[in-house]
Each structure stands twice: as C-alpha cells, then as structure tokens.
Amino acid sequence: MTSPSLFDSHLHLTAGRFDEDRPDVLARACSAGVTQMVTIASTPEDARVAESLAANTPGVWATAGLHPHEASRISKNLLGELKELTKKASVVAVGETGLDFHYDHAPRDTQLSSFRGHLELAADVCLPIVVHSRSAEEDTARLVVEYGDRVNGVLHCFAGGEELLQTAVEMGWYVSFSGLVTFVSELEGLVGKVPLDRILIETDAPYLAPAPKRGRRNEPSFLPYICERLAKILGISFDDMAMATTKNSCRFYHLSDHG
C-alpha cells in the first residue's frame, strides 16, 4: 500500500538557487511523494515568473504578493499589478506579505501599510492570504483579528509564541510548520495547540532545510522529514499526518475551484 501524497504549502521554486536543476528538484519531490506545492511570490516580478511556472507544471500553483522586506515599494499601482495577477487561474493566494520587525528592511509603518493593503486585496478578490510574521506578534495579531472575518490566512513557517498562535486559531486561520519544527524544541509544545484540520506543512525551500539535512539547500523532497516529526509530536501515523495536511492545503487554497 502506497503512502498518501504530500503537499508543500510554501516554497520558492523561482529562487535562483534552483535555476540549474529545477526539473530535477521537481522529479525528486515527486519520487518522495510530494505531488502538490505552492510556489510563493516575493514581488510582482517574481509573481509573474511563479505564475508562468505554475501554469506549465502540473501540481504546482502560485501566489502574488510583496514580501515585507520589499514593503517600501508598496503603492496603489503595485497593488493593482498584484490584483491583475490574482485573476490568473494558477494564482491561488495573496502573499507573501506580513511584518518583519527583526530585520526591518522596510520602515515599520510602511510594512503595516503594505500588509493592510494585501489584506484588503485578499478580501476584494476572495483569496486566502499567506503571512510572514517575525518579531511583530502584537501587530500581526491585531490585523488578524481586524480582518479575520473577511479574509482567511495562514501564518507560514510559524516560530512565534502561543498568544499569536491562539489568536490565529480563534479566527479560523491556519498555521504552517516548516523544518524549524525538526530542530527548535520550543515549537513542539505549540503543535498540539493547533487543531489538526488547521495545520499545514511547508519546506520554505530553498531555505531552512530540516534535520537531518541542515546546512544543505532545502527542496520539496525533504518535506517528509517535517511530516514525520509532526506526526511523532502528535502521536499519529505518518500517513494520517500526510492525509490531514494535504486535505488542509487543498481546502485553504480552494483547489477544488482550480481543478
């Protein structure tokens, strides 16, 4: 009996580190049981490349958004570009957006403006939103509550505290765990606080390779290590974890609407 397929809910297939062997990366993912994935955009330019890749690659979808590191670029025209991209059949979410007060590559008020603009866009086009939050839990939680009845979202690569996690869960949002869960012990106690039907898994490739692949370029074929770790923490089988997270990803990204 074969194991159920896995869904990598967040990675960056357009990253330059995949330019030399992208077809091989996708082939290895398929061999590892990772048959569906969403490649996440960081800028409108990246989103156009991601959309084209997704449109021509079975099992791959894309997003359209401006990463908080790039928030200084935000404008009505840029949001208009993103809105046009969301009309493409292969684009299934708005993002990656959010707040990063750790690196502060853009002023915080600009990041907040950009995040709010993305939330308004997601509400307007009826798509879910992919949220990056680092060292900005209070402001992230405030906006999750403000827009939670209009927009469904996921806190990707979750590494925050219990208060933000509980806020997201209470608003019906999803929480995604990356390779961090395989080597950051503090996350173990938070996994069980998320309902099983609200957990997503991701590689965030090419970043954050899980144990035992740390130090290498991450890729979607490493997703089983994350699924296995979460299954062990929750005391369920790998297959049950795989089935739940794949079903959750399809529900979150409305993939029944995209074929």
What is residue 257's predicted lDDT score, i.e. its pLDDT? Answer: 52
Confidence of residue 2 (pLDDT cuts 50, 70, 90): confident
The pLDDT of residue 1: 54
pLDDT given at position 3: 79
**How much is the pTM?**
0.97
Range of the structural domain that residue 162 is part of: 8-256
pLDDT confidence of residue 258:
47
Q: What is the mean pLDDT of residues 230-257?
A: 96
Peptide bond into 212 cis (omega under 30): yes
pLDDT digits (tens, 9 = 90+) for 33-76: 999 999 999 999 999 999 999 999 999 999 999 999 999 999 99
Q: Whole-number mean pLDDT of the chain?
A: 97
What is the number of structural domains in the chain? 1
Answer whether residue 3 is part of any domain.
no
Q: How far is CA 73 from CA 65, 99, 114, in A?
A: 11, 14, 9
**How would DSSP label each residue in the chain?**
-PPPPEEEEEE-TTSGGGTTTHHHHHHHHHHTTEEEEEEPPSSHHHHHHHHHHHHTSTTEEEEE---GGGGGG--HHHHHHHHHHTTSTTEEEEEEEEEETTT-SS-HHHHHHHHHHHHHHHHHHT--EEEEEES-HHHHHHHHHHHTTT--EEE-S----HHHHHHHHHTT-EEEE-GGGGT-GGGHHHHTTS-GGGEEE---TTS-PPTTSTTSPP-GGGHHHHHHHHHHHHT--HHHHHHHHHHHHHHHTTGGGT-
Residue 97: inside a domain: yes
When pLDDT is averaged across residues 92-98 and rounded to a whole number, the result is 98
Say if 83 falls within a structural domain: yes
Average pLDDT over residues 106-111: 98
Residue 59 maps to which CATH number?
3.20.20.140
- Determine which of 1-10, 102-111, 161-170, 212-221 has the lowest per-residue pLDDT on average: 1-10
Instruction: Judge whether 20 lies within some domain.
Output: yes
189 within a domain of the structure (yes/no): yes
Is 197 a member of any domain? yes
Does 1 fall in a domain? no
Distance of CA 81 to the CA centre of its chain: 21
Examine residue 102 and state whether it is found in any structural domain, yes or no.
Answer: yes
